[in-house]
A and B are shown apart, each in its own frame.
Chain A
Amino acid sequence: EPEVTQTPSHQVTQMGQEVILRCVPISNHLYFYWYRQILGQKVEFLVSFYNNEISEKSEIFDDQFSVERPDGSNFTLKIRSTKLEDSAMYFCASKERGGYEQFFGPGTRLTVL
């Protein structure tokens, strides 16, 4: 069964460093999302991406964040200068055209020291 994959499963970084979280969505999906979940808190929407551009973003998704689909399979989230409060589980999700279900990946745990 097709699934969304994410790498790495755990990323540890120093405050101020750049990180890139990678996702491989399900192959025929066209809509892509990033969410994050700080420990003990809600899953929060960050950004949605369709047709090679951002379709919606939250207040959390400021200038420190960017997304890219560098090729036909990967979808990345970059944080330019990480802060302690960026420590969270980051989930990628994808959805097919005309579908309602967003399929989530297993997440990347980001720890900022």
Chain B
Amino acid sequence: QKEVEQDPGPLSVPEGAIVSLNCTYSNSAFQYFMWYRQYSRKGPELLMYTYSSGNKEDGRFTAQVDKSSKYISLFIRDSQPSDSATYLCASSTSYGKLTFGQGTILTVHP
């Protein structure tokens, strides 16, 4: 079983829509959960970071982790064309090696 699974999409939404991106994971030892954003031909850039279960909000972005169901979510409110990118979920047992999901390609059209 793959450690982190993510629907690759692609996902296309109109500007202003609420976007929901999701991942599941299988390794119970994962404690740290991140969302990275990757633009074409660029390196991943950290968007959100969560330790253990719970919610974290940063502007239009909300990250949720439910360890009981091993489910990771990212919500984007009032989506903008500049949010168009690939979104990668990642998990880690410590502050070291990151295990990434497949990435979801998001397009927000005006």
Contacts and interface: CB of A to CB of B under 8 A. Distances in A.
Interface of A: 4, 31, 33, 35, 41-45, 48, 55-56, 58, 91, 93, 95, 99-107
A102 B98 contact: yes
A103 B49 CA distance: 13
A104 B96 contact: no
Contact of A48 (B32, B41, B42, B96): B96
Contacts of B44: 43, 91, 104
Contact of A100 (B36, B49, B99): B49
Given A42-B101, A43-B88, A100-B32, A107 B43 contact: yes
B73 interface: no
Q: Is the interface of A mostly helix, strand, loop or mixed?
A: strand
Given A95-B95, A106-B43, A101 B49 contact: yes
Interface of B: 32, 36, 41-46, 49, 88, 90, 95-103
A99 to B, nearest CB: 7
A56 B97 contact: yes
Q: Is the interface of B mostly helix, strand, loop or mixed?
A: loop
Contacts, number: 51
Contact of A45 (B36, B45, B95, B97): B97
A56 B49 contact: no
Contact of B46 (A35, A44, A55, A101): A101
A34 B8 CA distance: 23
Nearest to A107: B43
B43 A91 contact: yes
Q: Which of A43, A55, A103, A104 has the most CB of B within 10 A?
A: A43
A100 B88 CA distance: 16
Contacts of B36: 104
Contacts of A91: 43-44
